[in-house]
Structure 1
């Protein structure tokens, strides 16, 4: 692939990634609301406040790979509520204490839903936040690990969302130059805890997850985000090009799927080697089969994209991000080129480079990239 074509594809993919982001307004709204929950749980004089509850994002919001949902306006916000409690407290005790305090607020009470391990606060047509109670795990090496409930509230299990976010950030910085916002007129993506500038790995993960969403819809056996994100981060080699990043990730991700002594597949949590993100593959082999089917489809679609041109770009981007975002990306690219050309002409006129012949020349029509002008 020549450099001009790769530059075109990289610009389009970057526009696509930015369009997948939550808007700054959505991000600000979600942040303000979960911080308000934290303030309520920490209100001085209340019983729970003595346990020093601390709320923070986990998952895609924490690592800068959150995406707008497909065909719905409500997005998910996963939160941890870390509480200092004594060793005798059970997972059920911890969850009950958080729920009781939330129910004392009329606003939260009418929006509250109880889930197996967490409490959900629903803001209709905006987002819902899942609040998972947890406690600090002092025996862990990382210093950031937590103990949270298993799905039955029976026992504690170790998790480390802060440790994972730190690991992912380190992988993003692996021999890379930051991908700058491609154009000033594009609405900037919301800042992640690590950086306000999107990096190739973050963009690639967003695009891969959207490709998964479009391919499988609501199929419960579709590849889960934590497996895609973990394998992608392990496979990342520090490419600066979003397209090259995608190409290398798809080629290398399978090599980071390990096997246990019985030959079962494992995707090991990089901050907790005892945790296998692919543990469900053993009991539901279709999940593993669909993962490799998806990876094969992503490779095929990426090869097709590598041969694209502007007139075909919408069709070739659609498997990755959908037709609407593909069309927006191409329109934004065309707008930018036309704006650049106008700026260049103004500069030439101001410096006197354009003479009388230039002034009388036939104007060049703007680019449309969608065939002939109407």
Structure 2
């Protein structure tokens, strides 16, 4: 039987004892950001715990920092030890009185970026998404380009424009050119989302040292929800021959909570069979993905439910490919899956796909139709995963509202 928590309202919810995601918060009374762990609708102050003797002496300094990086750099032994201690603390009623004073209701917590982002890499790991874009952009050719089933395609983004959930997104401006039309400069008219899952690196590597595909869990601390906003018209004009640039780098939103990999043990699922078989450095001893059920709400209306379990390229393969040339990892590196899309129309994770290039608008909010994002629109992405004993945990949400472009 799974242990139960003494925290009221935590049981059988998305943030129960078997989840315990990490974040960074502050309060009106204490505006300094500090690390916390979520249990139910409360956040437990780990800085407060670290002022006493609860954690081992070599772990305590990490929880006096204002971001998760110090703790993430300690590696799996520290991650598992702290997780075990926190589960014991929050399950044992003998700790209730002394720990309850360190709980803050989520409604009174101001959430911050959970970790300092070192580098940001975005992949293109969904076969359905890649094929949909191929059909849209190259209708007379094969949907997938020749390299797609041989390596996880990706690009480097801008770490400095990764922002926490709830940060308003200013509509980007840039060059755009319609087919057979004049070159223009101005606000993006085809602003889009990308429903993604991000993986946060804890343990870095030295330059020149590849990471084996089977060493994924030795380096990756946890999972966070991602919305990689995209200006499709700017991207379409600029991306040849070097790939995405200004159409992607203006903002990437991530959730407030980082779910540790150990909390997703019950969510592991067999990944799709790959044909042709990839090169040796991409062949996994234990090939798995994560059975995450995602949902996208546009102005309050659910418009899509992308399934992460069907991603062709796994997180472990992404990490191995990211480092196979000797590129180093740093604590706080974020690599994301790329748009998550399923085989059904209602499982498409971008509005470019969902409205089929704008030709099939969807109804959102109070009966309004949309092809791409308009000023004032709000998008919320959520996800859940199987937990132990048949329950489900929630990965929180990542949200953003579009503001008009600036002159």
Judge same fold: TM > 0.5, yes or no. Answer: no
TM-score normalized by the length of structure 2: 0.28
Structure ID, larger Rg = 1
Greater RCO (Cα-Cα under 8 Å, separation 6 or more): 2
